[in-house]
Structure 1
Amino acid sequence: MIMEFLKKSFFFILIGVAIIVFLLFNRHDTPDTDAKLTPVPDPIKEEAKAKDDETANGIVIVDVKGAIKKPGIYDVSPDARVHDVIELAGGFTKQADQTMVNLAQKVQDEMVITIPQTGDDADGLSEATGTVGQESKLKINQATQTEIETLPGIGPSKAQAIIDYREENGPFQTIDDLLQVSGIGEKTLENFQDAIQIP
C-alpha cells in the first residue's frame, strides 16, 4: 500500500524536494547579496572630506615684521587676533609704537603685520596701518579705526561700523561689500572708494 502510494507520488515528492532545495539555496544567497550592497568607504571621498575638515579647522599664515622680538612667519588659527600673533612673536620691543596697531583685529591669511617704531615717518606708519606707500591707498581689511576715520565722509561711528562688519562677516571682497555696512550708502562710498584698497 505504502509502496504503491510512493510510486504514484514519486513525481510530486521529487518536485517538493526540488522546491525545498531551491528555497534553501536562495535563502542562503540573500546575505551575500546584502553584503555586496553594503556601502564601502570610498578612499577618494574620504580624502576630500578630510581636506574639507582641515580647511574648516585650518590655519592662516601671517607675516610679522618691524619692532617685534621675533619677526617671522607664523601659523595661527583663523579666529586668532593680532594680539595673539604678537605674543607668538615674543612681544613688542621697547621701541615699538603700540598705539599704531589694532590688537583686537582678526587675522587673515597672507596678512602682513608691521609694527612701527616710535617716531617712524609717515612711510613707516603707512606700512603698519595697511596703506600701500606707492599707491597711497588704505587697506580697508587691515586698517584701524583711526585710519578709517581719515577717509572722506567717515566719522567715528561709521569707522566703527566698518570694523564691526569686517569682524562679523570677514574681510571685504569687493568695493560693493561696503554698501552692506550700516550707514554707508552709494554717495558715501563714492567719496572714499578711490582712497581704499581691497586685495
Structure 2
Amino acid sequence: MSPFTWSPREKKFAIALVAILVFAIGALLWNQEDLPLQNNSLPMYQQQQSQVKTVEAKKEPQFATIDVKGAVKKPGIYKLTSPVRLYQVLEKAGGATESADVNRINLAKVIVDGSMIYIPKKGEQIPTEASPIQNKEADKKINLNTATLEELETLEGLGPTKARAIIQYRGEHGGFRSVEELLQVSGIGERTLERIKEKLYVS
C-alpha cells in the first residue's frame, strides 16, 4: 500500500485550517485575559461608593446644650444644633424682653456646649460664673433672677409648682426688682415669703 500523499491543494487547505485554529485560540486567550479587568472595575466602583456612604454616615449632627437666663421671654435649657451663635440661642428662648440691654452683648458670638447665657437688663451688672460674689452671706443665698428650678425647690415651702411659677413670672416680667415682688407670683403669700426671703437676693 503506497503511503498517503498530500496534493498541493490539500496542503494549502491544511495550512489555512491550522492558521484559522491558531488565530481562534489566540483570540480566545486574549479575551479571557481582558475579562478579569472588566469584572474588577465594577467592584472597585462599588467599594468607592461604599466608602463615600460610610464617611457621610459618620457626619452626624453635633448639639450644644445651653442654659439661658436673664431678660429673655422663655428662660430655660435648650439643645441646639452646633455650631450655634448667640442670636440663634436668643431666638430659641423667645427673644429678649423690652427691658433687655442687647447692646452690651455680642449676638454673633459662637456658643459652646455647656454654656450659661445671661441676658442683662438695662443698667444691670452682668453676673458671671468666673466672678464669685465676695459677700459670704450672699454666697449662701439664691439669686431670684438666675436661680434654676432645682435651686428654688430647695427653699422651704416651695415645690415644683411654685418654683415653675416663679421662673415663668421672671421670664414674663424681665426678672425681679426685689424679693418682695414674689408676692405677685401666683401661689406665693406673705407666710411663704417670710420663710424664704432671708435666703434670697436680687441682682
TM-score, normalised with respect to structure 1: 0.45
Structure of higher CA gyration radius = 2
- Greater RCO (Cα-Cα under 8 Å, separation 6 or more): 2
TM-score, normalised with respect to structure 2: 0.45
